[in-house]
């Protein structure tokens, strides 16, 4: 990296430069790459298959699928406003639940999940007709586990849990039989 920067290039191409490093060293080098970018202002074209690395290092991300650009935007754009199911599934974890679109009012949709649960206030990325089959995408961190139902509850059965030190992952099954990934906070 130092040799490449010595020539004051207008752009640096980095193709999976950290893939062989352990997690701690990878995070340290990521911080160094961000520092170098800030100090030099050099454009860095960074190729990676590690979604967290892309989100951490990038000002803008171009997500490719089979050689074609699927979406370009900030990491926040791709994560919070994915342009397609592929983008939603590739950037971070996503749960996709089959549902039926019931109605839209004031920009919010009401849907019925496969198990019969009604969900209101859903922000739709496109317009749907009444009775149309749709897939609801919900990020794992959007769920809250409670022992008793709330007004927007989705009844689930806990299937598995895993401890990761700084977080816990819960796999739950809906009444419709779909398994979902939950990241309780």
The dihedral sign for the CA sequence 152, 158, 167, 89: negative
Give me the pLDDT at residue 123, please.
Answer: 82
pTM, rounded to two decimals = 0.79
Give me the pLDDT at residue 82, please.
Answer: 92
Q: How far is CA 109 from CA 58, 97, 99, 112, 163, in A?
A: 33, 15, 12, 10, 35
The angle subtended at Cα 76 by Cα 58 and Cα 78, nearest 5°, is 90
What's the whole-number mean pLDDT along residues 176-185? Answer: 89
**Tens of pLDDT along 8-45?**
999 999 999 999 999 999 999 999 999 999 999 999 99
* 115 vs 51, more confident: 51
| Domain 1-90 falls under CATH 3.30.413.10 | no
Q: Where are the domains of the chain?
A: 1-90, 95-182
């Amino acid at each position: 990296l130092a040799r490449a920067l010595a020539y004051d290039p207008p752009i640096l191409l980095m193709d999976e430069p950290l893939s062989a490093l352990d997690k701690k060293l990878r995070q340290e080098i990521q911080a160094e790459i961000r520092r170098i970018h800030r100090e030099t202002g050099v454009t860095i074209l960074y190729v990676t298959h590690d979604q967290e690395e892309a989100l951490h290092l990038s000002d803008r991300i171009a997500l490719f699928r089979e050689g074609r650009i699927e979406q370009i935007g900030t990491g926040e754009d791709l994560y919070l406003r994915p342009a397609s199911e592929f983008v939603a599934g590739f950037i971070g974890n996503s749960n996709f639940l089959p549902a039926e679109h019931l109605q839209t009012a004031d920009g919010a949709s009401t849907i019925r999940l496969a198990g019969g649960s009604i969900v209101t206030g859903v922000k739709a990325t496109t317009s749907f007709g009444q009775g149309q089959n749709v897939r609801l995408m919900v990020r794992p961190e959007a769920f809250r586990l409670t022992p008793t139902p709330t007004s927007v509850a989705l009844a689930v059965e806990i299937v598995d849990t895993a401890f990761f030190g700084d977080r816990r992952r819960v796999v739950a099954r809906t009444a419709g039989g779909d398994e979902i990934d939950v990241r309780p906070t």
